[in-house]
Amino acid sequence: MAQLYKTIGLIGKPHHEGASNTIEALHKYLIEQNYQVVVEKTVANSLTIANMASHTLTEIGELADLAIVVGGDGYMLGAARVLACYDIGVLGVNRGNLGFLTDLSPDDVFQPLEKILAGESRSEQRFIIEAEVYRHGKLKSSNSAVNEAVLHAGKVANMIEFEVYIDESFMFSQRSDGLIVSTPTGSTAYSMSAGGPILTPNLNALSLVPMFPHTLTSRPIVVDGNSEIKLVLANENYENLQVSCDGHVILSVMPGDEVIIKKSENTLRLIHPLDHDYFNVLRQKLSWGNKLY
């Protein structure tokens, strides 16, 4: 039978004992199954595998048909922002805490992996967003986010003032610690901690969640996923404002700048086992109750 995936990339957290052990075991298993295997360079340096092919994350996106990311959701997000630019499936092995994006357990990885490699899996497209910072009408910086883009001050508990526009229509002005613009994927992350709604992954929607607003009537709102969200920073703000993408990439923002947040043309293709159930994930991760009978 022809292989569904010919080249498989292994990505993981460098110098993490658990991740390194899992990657070494996966490498041995996949080589024995006659797959072409490439390991991401930063983690390859901490492994003890002979004759190992190593490439950058970008090169894995170009060369591989499937990427297996070993780590927590944070490491998955970093890899996903790059891999979303390529036609590659992404599968997660959880070596972190919650593991909303990483399906497979490192203690039981080979049986479900065997089925996935045989085509017994489901594929899911997750959209990502782009955040762009404009100053005097010129693009200054940009980056993508799988979970959320967050406007906030560089200092803790520092209130900022800004206006929000949806597709050029003025929605509201606000004084708060900032604003979280979240995808459905990110609705169970920072947004949820700030009181935002949980959005099922198949929704074409974005949630806007104020952070400690200076009014009791301010509430989260959900808008169409194709909306263009514009944040206009008041000139009276202090300097050292930021937009963070997935909590990793920081874009510097100045008073008077405009921040545009919109859906990216790229999407992330997640690979799940056939028995993957989103609501079962929520029950497990959030300690929701099971059936009464």
The total number of residues shown for the chain amounts to 293
How far is Cα 25 from Cα 43, in angstroms, rounded to an integer? 14
- Max distance between CA atoms of the chain, in angstroms, equals 66
How far is Cα 184 from Cα 221, in angstroms, rounded to an integer? 13
**Residue 167 among the catalytic residues:** no
Q: Which residue has tokens 């086992």?
A: 273
Q: Which residue has tokens 């906030």?
A: 152
User: What are the residues facing 162 on neighbouring strands?
Assistant: 174, 233
Residue of 65, 73, 108, 257 marked active site: 73
User: What are the residues facing 174 on neighbouring strands?
Assistant: 162
For residues 7 and 65, is the Cβ–Cβ distance under 8 A? Answer: yes
Name residues whose C-beta falls within 8 Å of residue 35's C-beta, 6 or more positions apart in sequence: 3, 5, 6, 7, 8, 117
Question: By three-state DSSP, how is residue 116 classified?
Answer: helix
Amino acid type, 284: Q
How far is Cα 129 from Cα 223, in angstroms, rounded to an integer? 14
Listing DSSP states for 114-179 in one string gives HHHHTT-EEEEEEEEEEEEEEETTEEEEEEEESSEEEEEESSTT--EEEEEEETTEEEEEEEESEE
The first and second tokens of residue 75, run together, are 């490491």
Going by C-alpha positions, the residue among 188, 184, 174, 177 that lies closest to residue 207 is 184
Q: What angle do CA 41, 6, 88 make, to 5 degrees?
A: 65
The first and second tokens of residue 136, run together, are 């005097």
What residues are labeled active site? 73
